[in-house]
Structures are given as C-alpha cells and as structure tokens.
Amino acid sequence: MQIIKIDDVPELELPGLRHRTLAGPRNGMTQGEVWTQIAEPGGATPVHRHDCEEVVIVLTGSGVCKCEDRDYPFGPRSVMIIPPNVVHQIVNTGSEPITGFGFLTMAPVIVEDPNGERIHLPWDQGSEAG
C-alpha cells in the first residue's frame, strides 16, 4: 500500500507538454501505469503507439486525438479509449491547457513511433531507461 502526493512526483517535460507518472514500475506496478499530463495550447504528444490499451480522461481543455487517418475532436470531461498499437497523437487545438490522466495497461509502457522504433521519453520506466 502506498499513498503518493501528486505534487511530490517529479514533473518532466517535452516542448508544450508536462508529464508525471503517478504509478508505474518505480512504485512496484507490474500491470499498468497511471500518468497525468498538461498540454499547453498548441502542444501535443509525439505521434506514437504502444502495445496496450490506453484510457485518457480529459478534465479541462479541448483538442483532437489523431488516430491513424482520422481526427477525433474532444472537449473537457471527455474519455478517450485507444486500442493497442493504434498510432495516435493528442493535440491541444484550444486556448487553454488540456489537463488529464492516462491509464495504460502495461508496465513498463514502451512507446514507439509509427514505424515501431522506440521513442525514449523523459519519463520512461523501462529497463533500458532511467
């Protein structure tokens, strides 16, 4: 049993995107990871895929989830369910930050580009990363 204060979890960044892994292998998780992210207006996740299901709960903000060849608009209080290995990107097209949580059904989450090459992100918890 653990209690983790969100503000005590290190915040890591990519341009326009702030990330915290709230639960994952570093906390003893073996079946999934829980992330929180903030995407600034114009910010986006990398175009990527992973071999697991992902649920994204959007609390605030709006944008599009680009999945394969389609754009899926979303707003606050939306839930996105992304199947395994679907190439996707979440883009903030609005005027306020997107805040939300991601629940991924593997640990560690291995993120790949559309061609299957691993993307090493600052928050990797895989055995090859920090």
User: DSSP labels for 2-65?
Assistant: ----GGGSPPEEETTEEEEEEESGGGT-SS-EEEEEEE-TT-BPPSBB-SS-EEEEEEE--EEE
* 127 pLDDT higher than 70: no
Cα–Cα distance, 88 to 114 (Å, whole number): 9
Q: What would the pLDDT profile of 34-48 be if each residue is shown by its tens digit?
A: 999 999 999 999 999
Q: What would the pLDDT profile of 74-101 be if each residue is shown by its tens digit?
A: 999 999 999 999 999 999 999 999 999 9
129 falls in which pLDDT band (50, 70, 90)?
very low
Query: Cβ-count burial of 101 within 10 angstroms (0-12 exposed, 13-18 middle, 19+ buried)?
Result: middle
Vertex 86: Cα angle to 123 and 107 (nearest 5): 35
Vertex 53: Cα angle to 7 and 35 (nearest 5): 5
The residue among 32, 29, 102, 31 whose CA lies nearest residue 65 is: 102
Tokens of 109: 């989450």
Quick check: pTM over 0.85? Answer: yes
User: Up-side HSE of residue 116: CA atoms within 13 Å toward CB?
Assistant: 0
pLDDT for the residue 130: 39
